[in-house]
Amino acid sequence: MFHVTRKLLTIAAAVAALGGTGGGAALAATSASASVSLPRCYSQNISAALHGAETGRGNHVGFILTLTNDGQRSCSLYGYPGLGLQDWNHHALPSHTFWGSTWFDRDPGRQFIVLSPGETASASLAFSTGATRGAVNAAYLVVTPPNDYGHEVVGPFSRSMTVPIYHGNLYVTAMAYHTPHP
- Tell how strand 46-56 and strand 60-69 pair up: antiparallel
Which residues on neighbouring strands pair with residue 103, listed in sequence order?
Answer: none
pTM of the model as a whole:
0.77
Predicted pLDDT at 133 = 82
Core vs surface per residue 3-14: b (16+ CB within 10 A) or e: eebebeebeeeb
* C-alpha separations of 142 from 18, 39, 52, 154, 156 in Å: 45, 22, 18, 6, 10
Give dist(CA 77, CA 161) in Å, integer. 33
Question: What residue ranges do the domains of the chain occupy?
Answer: 6-37, 43-172
**Rounded distance between C-alpha atoms, residue 98 and residue 85, angstroms:** 14
32 pLDDT higher than 70: no
Better-scored residue on pLDDT, 45 or 161: 45
Share of the chain above pLDDT 90, in %: 64
Q: How confident is the model over 74-91, as pLDDT tens digits?
A: 999 999 999 999 999 999
pLDDT at 160 over 90: no
Given a cut of 90, whether residue 99 has pLDDT beyond it is yes
Give CA–CA dist 119/19, Å, rounded.
32
Task: Flag whether pLDDT at 33 surpasses 70.
Answer: no
Dihedral class, residue 59 (left if φ above 0, else alpha if ψ from -120 to 50, else beta): left
Nearest to 175 by CA among 94, 115, 85: 115
Alpha helices by DSSP H, listed for the chain, are 6-18, 24-37
pLDDT, residue 58, reads: 79
In this predicted structure, the answer to whether residue 29 has a pLDDT above a threshold of 90 is no
Nearest to 102 by CA among 175, 180, 176, 173: 173
CATH code of the domain made up of 43-172 = 2.60.40.10
